Amino acid sequence: MSFETLELRKIKQEHHAMFAQRFDPNAIVEENVEVKVPIIKPRPLIPAKRSRKEVTIEKNEESEVESSEAEISESEAESEAESEAESEAESEVEEEKEDIEKDVDMENPEKFNSVLNRFQQTISLQDKLDVNNEDKNDQEEEIDIQVHDLEQIPQPERTPFTHEDRESRMAATNIAKIDAAFMSTQRIIYDKDMTKPFKDFSKDLDPRLLNNITRQFSTDSFPIQTSLWSNILPQINNMSKISKKNFTRRIGDQLINASTGSGKTLAYSVPLVQSLINRKCKKLRAIVLVPTRLLINQVGDTLLKLCNKSSLMVTMANLDKSLREEHEKLIINEPDILIITPGRLVDHLNMQSISLINLKFLVLDEADRLLNQSFQNWCTELLTHLSQDKSSIDSLPGNIIKMIFSATLTTNTSKLHDLNLYNPKLYMMDSIKLYNLPNGLKEFNLNIGTAKSIYKPLLLFKLIQSFLSGDFTARKVLIFIKSNEAAIRLQSLLSIIKDSFSSNNDDTTNTTTYFIDSINSNNTKLINKKILTNFTQSTNDNVKQILITTDLMSRGIDINNITDVVNYDLPISSQQYVHRVGRTARANNSGNVYNILIGKGEQSFWSNHIDIDLSRNVDTTVDDSISSEVIEQLTSENEATYMECLNIFKQQQQQQQTQGSS
Ligand SMILES: Nc1ncnc2c1ncn2[C@@H]1O[C@H](COP(=O)(O)OP(=O)(O)OP(=O)(O)O)[C@@H](O)[C@H]1O
């Protein structure tokens, strides 16, 4: 072998030796290695060169240090024989001393006195430190130091935070909220069994009114109606005879927290009509405030039914006339009862279309929603006009009866304070939770993994197609979604899916017809009204009516026989949830709600921000067993068909955009 080759091999070997073989993690062998960590003595510190001033100070200190050194050396002498390590340390220090002394120029040693003194001082301080360290080191040497990998330091036992703990904590919070908001309010607790035949109120109700109730509604009163009427009808009948001026104060303000569909509209309408049905002259004595124009017509219908065969006049300011036209109508024909939205009321007060001098009742329906709306600062405006108009006859507090109604009555004390409540009474169910759900409501949660979220529209259709059948033949399904645009898109996509899957469906016996509509702001008011009428009135068997909408429809809308509500997008609060699901299971009927929860985020939001505020019947729970059954519908064949539907949808959207832009 030539010399070069040998030389080359040597270089390679050196190179290999220099760069260790590639690190192989599998080669790691787990072991607890007891490693003696060598105790490295800190080398004596020689102070850096210092200014003359420092040196003079130093001199004084040195004398002190020397005296203290003397004390230290005595104690050292008394101490046990120094350990081996100590003598080694001393010898090292001695050697260091000798080294340093050698470096010093011995011809004129005095000029180095300051350096030597500083050195002496440092050495003595160092010795003191060493003595202390050695004591510690001795202790350390007795401890076997074990080297561990990075691992979790054992944590103290955590008391498990159970669901019951959370429930009781939230219950305490809820009770605290209610107590804070209604501290000086008399509580009137009612329960779900408090129903009684309307005819039992015959001594409290005008015969015409009683007849209208039994003809139009039913034979028995609902719990909140029983409780409220039993308390105020006798007072209304007696006070209006004895003392017209003070009858409002004797009754006081009424706050009602009652679940959705529990008959709140009838609950406040009957006392209004009963107190006015025998009035002598027509004056504006009752105002009913509602948050949306949809509700104006609904409340108006109830009041018109109750005023049948009486001379009472009910006016609905339902915004289908201009402000000017409405103004003239009110001036010419002052109503007994006015149903209006807050913003429009402020307009008419400012235009002096109406006067509040004769007002006896102010009803706030969906009060929490109204108090959250600040339309032209309506609350302050209204109360200011009230005190101005009443100043000539009765400007004292309690000069009207305020009736505050909601399924999610606010506990916001400042908003309640704005109402200037007088001698208030609070009607509430005997519950520690803020909101009560209707008795006949069944809740289902569909827990869907994030990975399947793309198939949400398909899952919705499969839910409607396969699971919304059962005991109802004609189904009305109200689907809540987060925005108008999303409602329009979902309606288009769901129609494509319906056409595709119905045609694919070889079950010829399945003659179900689907109507899929959406109420949204892109439609004209007339179209929305027509869609709502169709949805409300049709009851054909084997028809599934799907209405997609936003939270515009979540409040108060009373559509009978809605069989199912679907929260396609989760509501943003427990209040919104209560009002959405309250569109079904109304007036003691049964109904279902399906919550589509995508991923852990939505599931924990549901638990911690919605479910926690809700009070249900003791035997009612949320059923999430159908999640897996619905997901089983996601066969590869269905997924493929769905992807085709998505493509058709995208093509339609592009065509609409090109048509829109051309
Ligand atoms: N005593 C009764 N017997 C039978 N039906 C009733 C009775 N009282 C009210 N209803 C009906 O129950 C339905 C719900 O009533 P209402 O709209 O007043 O409920 P609500 O409590 O105002 O609901 P929400 O909180 O959603 O506004 C209505 O269709 C109404 O006609």
pLDDT of 167 reads 63
E strand residue ranges, 418-466: 425-429, 435-436, 441-448
**Of ligand 1's atoms, which has the minimum distance to the CA of residue 198?**
1
C-alpha of residue 270 to centroid of ligand 1, in Å: 13
C-alpha of residue 534 to centroid of ligand 1, in Å: 21
C-alpha of residue 267 to centroid of ligand 1, in Å: 9
* 252 CB within 6 A, ligand 1: no
* 264 CB within 6 A, ligand 1: yes
pLDDT of 64 reads 43
* 259 CB within 6 A, ligand 1: no
Read off the DSSP letter of residue 589: -
C-alpha of residue 403 to centroid of ligand 1, in Å: 17
pLDDT of 508 reads 47
- What distance in Å separates the CA atoms of residue 554 and residue 549, rounded to the nearest whole number? 9
**Of ligand 1's atoms, which has the minimum distance to the CA of residue 262?**
21
pLDDT of 144 reads 63
If one compares 475 and 604, the residue with the highest pLDDT of the two is 604
Q: φ and ψ at 48, to 5 degrees?
A: -70, 165
* 571 CB within 6 A, ligand 1: no
* 405 CB within 6 A, ligand 1: no
**Of ligand 1's atoms, which has the minimum distance to the CA of residue 220?**
1
Q: Is the pLDDT of residue 316 over 90?
A: yes
pLDDT of 136 reads 55
- What distance in Å separates the CA atoms of residue 295 and residue 369, rounded to the nearest whole number? 13
* 589 CB within 6 A, ligand 1: no
Mutate to test the pocket of ligand 1, among 190, 256, 558 (most ligand atoms within 8 A of CB): 558
8 A C-beta contact, residue 434 and residue 181: no
Q: Is the pLDDT of residue 494 over 80?
A: yes
Closest C-alpha residue for ligand 1 atom 1: 221
* 298 CB within 6 A, ligand 1: no
C-alpha of residue 217 to centroid of ligand 1, in Å: 9
Which of 2-16, 68-82, 546-560 comes out lowest in average pLDDT? 68-82
**HEC profile for 145-183?**
CCCCCCCCCCCCCCCCCCHHHHHHHHHHHHHHHHHHHCC
The model's pLDDT over 4-49, given as tens digits with 9 standing for 90+, comes to: 566 666 655 655 554 444 445 444 444 444 445 455 555 554 444 4
* 586 CB within 6 A, ligand 1: yes
* 265 CB within 6 A, ligand 1: yes
pLDDT of 504 reads 64
8 A C-beta contact, residue 640 and residue 481: no
Q: Is the pLDDT of residue 265 over 90?
A: yes
> Which CATH superfamily, name and number, covers 436-661?
P-loop containing nucleotide triphosphate hydrolases (3.40.50.300)
**Residue 146 pLDDT grade (very low, low, confident, very high; cuts 50, 70, 90):** low
Q: Is the pLDDT of residue 112 over 80?
A: no
pLDDT of 461 reads 93
Question: What value does the mean pLDDT take over residues 305-314?
Answer: 96
The model's pLDDT over 582-616, given as tens digits with 9 standing for 90+, comes to: 999 999 899 999 999 999 999 999 999 999 989 88
Q: Residue 447 to residues 451, 600, 623: CA-CA distances in angstroms?
A: 12, 9, 11
8 A C-beta contact, residue 438 and residue 262: yes
- What distance in Å separates the CA atoms of residue 199 and residue 207, rounded to the nearest whole number? 10
pLDDT of 47 reads 47
Per-domain residue ranges of the chain: 1-44, 177-430, 436-661
The model's pLDDT over 386-422, given as tens digits with 9 standing for 90+, comes to: 999 999 999 899 999 999 999 998 777 777 888 999 9
E strand residue ranges, 481-590: 513-518, 543-549, 564-567
pLDDT of 118 reads 79
If one compares 615 and 188, the residue with the highest pLDDT of the two is 188
Question: What value does the mean pLDDT take over residues 345-369?
Answer: 96
* 648 CB within 6 A, ligand 1: no
ipTM metric: 0.99
Mean pLDDT of the chain: 81
* 221 CB within 6 A, ligand 1: yes
* 626 CB within 6 A, ligand 1: no
Does this model's pTM top 0.80? no
Question: What value does the mean pLDDT take over residues 637-649?
Answer: 94
- What distance in Å separates the CA atoms of residue 331 and residue 353, rounded to the nearest whole number? 6
pLDDT of 50 reads 46
- What distance in Å separates the CA atoms of residue 256 and residue 224, rounded to the nearest whole number? 8
Mutate to test the pocket of ligand 1, among 586, 588, 589, 590 (most ligand atoms within 8 A of CB): 586
If one compares 569 and 115, the residue with the highest pLDDT of the two is 569
Name the CATH architecture for the domain at 177-430.
3-Layer(aba) Sandwich (3.40)
The model's pLDDT over 83-101, given as tens digits with 9 standing for 90+, comes to: 554 555 455 455 545 544 4
pLDDT of 626 reads 87
pLDDT of 70 reads 44
pLDDT of 182 reads 73
Per CATH, 177-430 and 436-661 having the same topology is answered yes
Question: 């925005």: which residue's tokens?
Answer: 483
C-alpha of residue 580 to centroid of ligand 1, in Å: 15
Long-range contacts of 236-240 (CB under 8 A, 24+ apart): 236/271, 236/274, 236/275, 237/204, 237/274, 240/275
- What distance in Å separates the CA atoms of residue 658 and residue 45, rounded to the nearest whole number? 83
Angle at the Cα of 415 (from 414 to 417), degrees rounded to 5? 60
pLDDT of 253 reads 96
* % of the chain residues with pLDDT over 90: 49
What are the structure tokens assigned to 100, written together? 């340093």
The model's pLDDT over 495-553, given as tens digits with 9 standing for 90+, comes to: 999 999 876 654 544 678 889 999 987 888 889 889 988 998 877 778 889 999 999 88
pLDDT of 472 reads 55
The model's pLDDT over 318-345, given as tens digits with 9 standing for 90+, comes to: 878 899 999 999 999 999 999 999 999 9
- What distance in Å separates the CA atoms of residue 10 and residue 2, rounded to the nearest whole number? 13
* 260 CB within 6 A, ligand 1: yes
Q: Is the pLDDT of residue 177 over 60?
A: yes
The model's pLDDT over 360-379, given as tens digits with 9 standing for 90+, comes to: 999 999 999 999 887 778 99
* 201 CB within 6 A, ligand 1: no
Closest C-alpha residue for ligand 1 atom 16: 263
**Of ligand 1's atoms, which has the minimum distance to the CA of residue 195?**
1
pLDDT of 247 reads 84
